[in-house]
């Protein structure tokens, strides 16, 4: 039996930058980080250094929100390029997809598992949710 599913020929590329796309959420997020840093400085004996370290650690924990990430999808798979390097996943590695409001988790496991967040790839949308999901479903299930 031959596969009659028509696969898109084009490569799908976009840049996801949630901080720029959701300004009010960014204001809230940055406010929380700054307040937490201030609180850490006060708790550590009014030491500004500890406040800055704490705020920096909180910023790093949310780097995927603050820093732009370039995504590229082609017939081979998906690549995710950021300041911290490039991550790749082939379509043969994708066993299940878990979409949410802001992105989709490409999982190497056929069933939902807690390990999927660590072994899979998180792909963020950028006002292209339906296009990305259609592209993924075409290749990941084909």
pLDDT band at 1 (very low <50, low <70, confident <90, very high): very low
Question: What pLDDT sits at residue 89?
Answer: 95
Q: Compute the distance between CA of residue 116 and CA of residue 97 in angstroms, rounded to an integer.
A: 10
- The model's pLDDT over 22-38, given as tens digits with 9 standing for 90+, comes to 999 999 999 999 999 99
Contact call for residues 29 and 65 (beta carbons, < 8 A)? yes
Question: 70-140 — its CATH code?
Answer: 2.30.29
Give the residues across from 77 on adjacent strands.
Answer: 90
pLDDT digits (tens, 9 = 90+) for 37-60: 999 999 999 999 999 999 999 999
Whether this model's pTM surpasses 0.95: no
Task: Say if CB 58 and CB 36 are below 8 A apart.
Answer: yes
Q: Where are the domains of the chain?
A: 19-64, 70-140
Q: Please check whether residue 137 is in contact with residue 129, taking contact to mean a CB–CB distance below 8 angstroms.
A: no
Owner of token pair 């500890």: 50
Tens digits of per-residue pLDDT, 72-81? 999 999 999 9
């Amino acid at each position: 039996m031959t596969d009659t599913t028509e696969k898109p020929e084009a490569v799908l590329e976009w840049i996801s930058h949630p901080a720029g796309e959701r300004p009010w959420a960014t204001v809230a997020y940055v406010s929380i980080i700054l307040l937490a840093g201030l609180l850490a400085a006060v708790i550590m004996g009014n030491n500004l250094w500890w406040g800055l370290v704490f705020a920096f650690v909180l910023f790093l924990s949310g780097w995927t929100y603050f820093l732009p990430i370039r995504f590229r999808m082609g017939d081979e798979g998906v690549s995710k390029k950021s300041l911290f390097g490039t991550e790749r996943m082939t379509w043969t590695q994708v066993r299940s997809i878990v979409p949410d409001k802001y992105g989709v988790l490409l999982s190497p496991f056929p069933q939902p598992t807690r390990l999927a967040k660590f072994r899979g790839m998180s792909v963020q949308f950028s006002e292209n949710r339906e296009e990305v999901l259609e592209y993924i479903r075409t290749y990941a299930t084909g």
